[in-house]
Structure formats: C-alpha cells, structure tokens
Amino acid sequence: MSTPVLKVDNLRVEYRSKDSRESKIAVRNLSLSVSAGEVFGFLGPNGAGKTSTMNVLLGFVPPTSGAAFLFGVDTREVIARQRIGYLPELTYYYKFLTTEELLRFYARIFRIDSNLIEQRIDTVIKLVGLDHARKKQIKTYSKGMQQRAGLAQALINNPDLLILDEPTSGLDPVGRMKVREIIESLKKEGKTVFFSSHELGEVETVCDRVAILNQGELKVEGKVSDLTKQYGMNLEHIFLKIVGYNPQPSPL
C-alpha cells in the first residue's frame, strides 16, 4: 500500500494563554489520511480546529501530542514542505513586488533550476489569468487578482499536494468559478488537494471526501456521495446537523 500524501495521527494541539495557566484544546486526537489524487474538504465551523490542524501541517505550530506527516515525512522537518503548495485565506504577500518578482522569489526558495524558473512563471501566470498584469505591483491588484497571484505562488513548484485555506473567501462569482476550474484541472492532473472552505455547495461539487470537525474533534469523515446517501440530505444539512445547529422558526 502506498504512503498517504497527508496523514494526521492522533493529533492534539493545545494553546497556553500568556495570562492564565489554563490551556485551550484546539484539536483533540485527530486522525486523518488523504491519498494521492484526492480532493479532500476539511470542514468545520469557526473555532473547530481547522486552522490549528493546518498550522501543524505547515510547521507553524508543533503538535502537543501525536504527529502529522506529508509524504511520510514529519511536518516538523523542513523537507516535508518541498512538494506542497499553500494558499492562505487572505493575500499575505509582499505587495511591493510584481507577480513575476514574487514568483521568481518563491521559485528560488524552492531551489527550482534557474533555467526552468522563467518557463514555470509563464505557465502559472497564464494558468491563473494574470498575464496582462504580471509586471504590476501586487498592491495595485483587486482582491480577486491578489487571490489569483496567491494561487500562482502556490503552484510555482508544480506541487503534488495543494493546501488551500478558504480559497474562494471574499471572491466574486467569477473569481470563485476560476478557482474551482483550477482545482478541477489540478484534480485531472492527479494532484492532491486539501482544502478548507465554508462554501459547502462548492465542496460538494469538487471534493471526493470530506471531514467535518467540531470543537476540535473529528465528527464525520467519508466520501461525499456516501455521506449524502447515509444521511439522506445534502452536505450543507449534514454539516448543520453535525455542528448542532437547530433552525428557529421565523418570528414573522
């Protein structure tokens, strides 16, 4: 059996606040596994532990206990991040750079062969549709264009695994469609995509499997088609049921 692309093993993440001795448990004994070529939706309400899990996957936070692995390498190792692309929720880039400069910089961080860098930049800039603005500073871009620049930087190393943190957050319908098309094209190329989103309709369309977290615990995990069949409702209703949301009758 091949090594899973992403594996979370009995992960626990606790944060100790500076002013009190109490610690807050963000993730409790989470175990997950994502295989090559899957599009995996990582869902949960705000504060469910999605970001904390992603922080561990990306090496920003060490696990309190348990471990996380990318391509079989512990995420605490720098090399674990060699084959991944990461798109943050908001556009956290050097805005004094042009997209071309930003991509050249990240390509050097990935130690891409200097002969291949320009070719790779051309490919990803065309893929995200920023060819016309490649020489403009990112600070002059609209939100949607900045998000596409972000997607370009996530793809610069031709990653085998993409970790997307709410990739369509704040985008207009055209921007969302563009991101969805890119995810689908990556899926066709056999890439693995791990993404968190609150857009459940989109998740249902794009994802092969999903996991739903609530209060740091994994509540449900499985194929989208199996879950909708099992619960007899769409993903949005499954999600609301799991997080314990009871719709109140309208007072009007």
Cβ proximity to other proteins: between 111 and 188 the closer is 111
| Binding positions for other proteins, rule: CB under 8 A | 15, 51, 55, 58-62, 78-82, 84, 86-90, 92-94, 96-97, 101, 105-106, 108-111, 150, 153-154, 157, 163
Pairing of strands 73-74, 65-70: antiparallel
Edge-first strand listing for the sheet containing 209-214: 84-87, 161-165, 192-196, 39-43, 209-214, 217-223
Cβ proximity to other proteins: between 144 and 159 the closer is 159
∠ Cα 132 136 140 (to 5°): 110
Q: How far is the CB of 204 from other proteins (least distance, A)?
A: 26
Contact indicator for 216, 27 with CB cutoff of 8 Å? yes
Tell me the CA distances in angstroms from 145 to 101, 140, 175, 176, one per residue in order.
15, 9, 8, 12
Q: How far is the CB of 47 from other proteins (least distance, A)?
A: 13
Cβ proximity to other proteins: between 61 and 238 the closer is 61
Cα–Cα distance for residue pair 20/247, rounded to 1 Å: 36
Cβ proximity to other proteins: between 79 and 177 the closer is 79
Q: How far is the CB of 37 from other proteins (least distance, A)?
A: 22
Q: How far is the CB of 52 from other proteins (least distance, A)?
A: 8
